[in-house]
Structure 1
Amino acid sequence: MLFISKRRLRILALVLGIGLLVSLSARAVVQFQLGQEIEHYRTFFKTHKDNIHDIFDPLSIKQIPYETINALYESRKAEGSSRKSTIAWDNYAYVNYVTEPEYLCNTVMQFKRLKELKTKAKLVALISRDLVESENEDKRQTAEKLIAKLSELAPEQVIVKTVDNIVKPEDSSPWKKSLTKLLVFNQTEFDRIIYLDSDAAVYSNMDELFFLPSYVTFAAPLTYWFLSDSDLEEAKAEIRAADKATVKLENIINSVNTRVRKGQQIYNHLPVLPSSLVFHSSNVGKEILDSTSSASPLFRLGSGTRRAKVRFSSNLMVITPKTGTFDSIVQYLLPVASRQKDQYDIDLINNKLYNLKAIIHEQFLLFRKLKSAFTPEVMVLPFREYGLLSSSIKNKMHHELLANELLGYEGGLASSESSWKELVKKSKYIHYSDWPVSKPWLYAKFDQLECHPETNADEEKEMCEVWNSVYRDYWDSRYICQL
């Protein structure tokens, strides 16, 4: 009997081993075939992009230059003018969410600036019910007075909505209410919204973002501040190798903008996000397969999957709100996130909703099934105009990033502008983020956080001058919040 048992165990082990070998062999074959197919389509889209009008490249995530965003807006305005019809601005909105009085003051400042910049879009403030119904009388009255100031700015444009906070239980961090931001995906009465974090300064009209290509349902800048010099060099080397020469961004922009003016498809001609910033090896097929953890698009980041070097920032987002997306967030994401540590708004957006690696995986699988019916849904916005951190102004390492903001590409229409003042002048939206410097409203006066150059070097002086101008602007503008 003992002999039979051992024999059965050996047979069982042999069967399991054969099964495992077959499984691994099959997976290796699938990876090889997928790799071959990926290379085929990469070559196809590179070679034939000028003659492709109804098929989108599924293997890339595209970066859209500011000049092209503006060209699309100008084209839309010209189209409306030729038809003697105006843009239906009631279908578009800038959106803030607010859980604390200090942030509500900054919302007033942002909306006032947007109104002065002559936007015709709606200005929507999602304000916490805990704030407007607070048991703290001073807090409640402050909120009421600031809401009144909001409404006075532009009664025909400002919309105030009272919302319930989404709070992580047993979380004492400053971000415990940050999941409330996900309510912006529920603003389905609008065709497209521009979400703005309220702890930031608005410097220019951003209406052009409403007119990104219609197939784009989500667009945002990237977290460029996580990148190292070696990451940037690897990205540049990848782009050079793909084109056998240094790519002149100015030529790409001019070519794409010509297509905009002709009403031609631009997606396949846009600069790509270098794969070295998303994947961790040259075996893209294997990484695409490994990026799947569930059939549901809302569970995109598998356990053990290495994070891309960059991800979407959630400080500014262009969103096409959809009921289905928000219902899935409520039903599947929030119940899990509320119980997990270190899972906040930016983590859910990047790990579950818009994970870069998983997006390429899903795009490719859809393309294989649908071909010409496939359309991409995401796009990368330039961070200098729409996602600059105030800390970058004092960071010498970010100077090249600001001058070459399309990652992997060198130069551009603004490449000759080398001074801090000129680079930052292009920024339309600057996020107050300067650790260990706190948010500006936590200081009694500007002198407490003012930048002083460490040397007499002209560069040091200019950096401090530009940085100080951003924070002085806050001090000069907050008079509107005086009660």
Structure 2
Amino acid sequence: MPFVFKRRLRLLAAVGLIVILISFTAKCVVQFQLNREIEHYRTFFQKHKDNIHDIYDPLNIKQIPYETIESLYKLRKTNDVPKKSPIDWEKYAYINYVTDADYLCTSLLQFKRLKESGTKARLVLLISSNLLDTGNPKYSENKQLLEKFQEVAPTQVLIKEVENIIKPHDYSPWNKSFTKLLVFNQTEYDRVVYLDNDATVYNHMDELFFLPDYVKFAAPLTYWFISEQDLEIANNEVSLAEKQSVKLQRYIDTLATRVKEKRPIYNHLPSLPTSLFMGSKDIAKEIIESTSSASPLFNLRNKNKSAKVRFASNLMVIKPSTETFSAIINTLLPQISKKKEKYDMDLINEGLYDLRKIIYHQFKLFRKLKTEFVPEVLGLPFCSYGLLTGSIRNEFHHTLMANDILGYERVKEKDQVPLKSLVEKSKYIHYSDYPMSKPWAYSSFDHLKCNPQDIEAKSEHIKNEMCGCWNSVYQDYWDSKNFCTV
């Protein structure tokens, strides 16, 4: 009996080994064939992109330079676009949301700055209904501030009361941050620019409303997670793929010509280096593994392969959609709400717009339908639209700020442009300088003023330059906040 049992065990083991070998071999064959197919399409898009009109590159996430965004906007403003009528500004909106009365002032200051800089778009405030409840201790002050909103732009400001979306059993300062997701449901607008209000605005961003029509979502990338080594790898990846320098100006010049000639631009946009968001260099392997991404084995293998960058959620360009909002509320929100320390940014990046899964779904659709595939997302230049105040005091981040598109170079480090000019080109700067609190938490500017001796930098000159620029951003808030006095 023991002999028969051992024979059966050996037989089962042999069968199991054969199954594993067959499965492994099949996977290798599929991966090999998929790699050949991917290489074919890569070569195809490199060779023929100048003459392609209805086919989009499915193997990359694209980034769009600021100059190209401006070119598209100038073209649209001239009304020199086929089948386009004059701009109906009622179809475009900047949106803030407020769940805490302490943030009403910065929303007011943003709307004031947007109006002063010439925007004609709607200025929409989503405000928690509890802040307008007569029982709220700040009710009178809140109402007076809302009157100031209307004074800023009587025909453009719209105030909407909303109910908070609260994460259950969570008592952190971010437990109401899911309320931000209501912006995806503002379907009376063709496109909206969402702005976190713990930030300062220096100019209107109307050009963002006129990104290519097929773009449903665009946002800056979380550049602050990138190390010097990550950047070097990304630059080398681009240089190797392009077989030439990674100068961004070459792309900008080509894109400017194509915009002027009203030709498609997507395939000519710089691509986000895969090393910054993929788990490996082998895209075929990533695509195959994405098909089993729900399995515990996949999650175990990839738990340490987190992306270097993802979409920031402090500024987002969105095409509101009932379908998208329904998916958020009915599917994604219940899932993410069960996870500790997961909030709106995690829902957007792990549910709606996971960069790795986007590649999988794009290529899957492209293989089936070719011309039916249309891209939905873009990475925005982060120095222009997503700069953190903390980066002003981070010398390595100055290189990132100067180049603005990850993996590509505007300038070499030796030709670094002055920090002041980099900060001045930023239209939206987010107050984020951990462990420092938001500026309104301090009773005096002197309590948060930058001291050059507290900064690590190569020279005293750089330290002084950093502090000067940093102080100017916070001084601007201090000089402006008196407008909120009621």
Structure 1 length as normaliser, TM-score? Answer: 0.94
Q: Mind listing any 5+ residue stretches in structure 1 that lack a counterpart?
A: 296-300
AA matched with 2:430 = H
The answer for the alignment partner of 1:151 in structure 2 is: 150
Q: Does 1:276 align with 2:275?
A: yes
1:280-339 Cα shifts (integer Å, max 9, x gaps): 3222211122234569xxxxx956532211111001000011111110111111112222
Shift of 1:416: 5.8
**1:13-28 correspondence runs (5 A):** 13-28=13-28
Shift of 1:437: 1.4
1:158-213 Cα shifts (integer Å, max 9, x gaps): 11111111111221211111111111111111110000000000001100000000
Q: 1:370 to 1:17 in 2, by over 3 A?
A: same
AA matched with 2:272 = L
AA matched with 1:234 = I
* Kept in 1: contact 2:202–2:428 (CA 8 A): yes
* Kept in 1: contact 2:399–2:416 (CA 8 A): no
The answer for the alignment partner of 2:108 in structure 1 is: 108
**1:114-133 correspondence runs (5 A):** 114-133=114-133
Give the secondary structure class of the aligned counterpart of 1:45: helix
Q: How many residues align?
A: 477
1:361-416 Cα shifts (integer Å, max 9, x gaps): 11110100111111110000000000000011111111111111111111169996
Shift of 1:466: 0.8
Shift of 1:152: 2.2
* Kept in 1: contact 2:194–2:318 (CA 8 A): yes
AA matched with 2:460 = A
Q: Does 1:474 align with 2:473?
A: no
The answer for the alignment partner of 2:180 in structure 1 is: 181
Shift of 1:149: 1.5
Give the secondary structure class of the aligned counterpart of 1:379: strand
The answer for the alignment partner of 1:439 in structure 2 is: 438
Cα distance in 2, alignment partners of residues 124 and 415 from structure 1: 44
The answer for the alignment partner of 2:390 in structure 1 is: 391
**1:354-433 correspondence runs (5 A):** 354-411=353-410, 418-433=417-432
**1:45-444 correspondence runs (5 A):** 45-79=45-79, 85-133=85-133, 135-137=135-137, 139-293=138-292, 304-305=301-302, 306-411=305-410, 418-444=417-443
Q: Does 1:43 align with 2:46?
A: no
Shift of 1:8: 4.1
1:221-266 Cα shifts (integer Å, max 9, x gaps): 0110100000111111111112222132212101111000000000
1:100-133 Cα shifts (integer Å, max 9, x gaps): 1111111111001111111111111111122222
Shift of 1:141: 2.2
* Kept in 2: contact 1:290–1:302 (CA 8 A): no
Give the secondary structure class of the aligned counterpart of 2:78: helix
The answer for the alignment partner of 1:298 in structure 2 is: none
Moved more, 381-390 or 463-472: 463-472
* Kept in 2: contact 1:167–1:338 (CA 8 A): no
* Kept in 1: contact 2:246–2:407 (CA 8 A): no
AA matched with 1:457 = E
AA matched with 2:140 = Q
Cα distance in 1, alignment partners of residues 134 and 177 from structure 2: 19
* Kept in 1: contact 2:130–2:136 (CA 8 A): no
Structure 2 length as normaliser, TM-score? Answer: 0.93
Which of 456, 465, 475 matches 2:468?
465
AA matched with 1:116 = E
Shift of 1:465: 1.0
Moved more, 342-351 or 194-203: 342-351
Cα distance in 1, alignment partners of residues 195 and 292 from structure 2: 31
Calculate percent identity across the aligned residue pairs. 58
Give the secondary structure class of the aligned counterpart of 2:194: strand
Q: 1:120 to 1:195 in 2, by over 3 A?
A: same
Over aligned residue pairs, what C-alpha RMSD do you find? 2.2
Q: 1:235 to 1:82 in 2, by over 3 A?
A: closer
* Kept in 1: contact 2:185–2:322 (CA 8 A): yes
Cα distance in 1, alignment partners of residues 117 and 83 from structure 2: 26
Cα distance in 2, alignment partners of residues 458 and 251 from structure 1: 33
* Kept in 2: contact 1:291–1:302 (CA 8 A): no
* Kept in 2: contact 1:278–1:356 (CA 8 A): yes
Q: Mind listing any 5+ residue stretches in structure 2 that lack a counterpart?
A: none
Cα distance in 1, alignment partners of residues 217 and 292 from structure 2: 22
1:403-459 Cα shifts (integer Å, max 9, x gaps): 111111111699966111111111000000011211000001111101122188222
Give the secondary structure class of the aligned counterpart of 1:79: coil
Shift of 1:17: 3.1
Cα distance in 2, alignment partners of residues 382 and 302 from structure 1: 31
AA matched with 2:29 = V
AA matched with 1:207 = D
Cα distance in 2, alignment partners of residues 265 and 399 from structure 1: 32
Q: 1:84 to 1:348 in 2, by over 3 A?
A: closer
Q: 1:303 to 1:350 in 2, by over 3 A?
A: farther
* Kept in 1: contact 2:184–2:321 (CA 8 A): yes
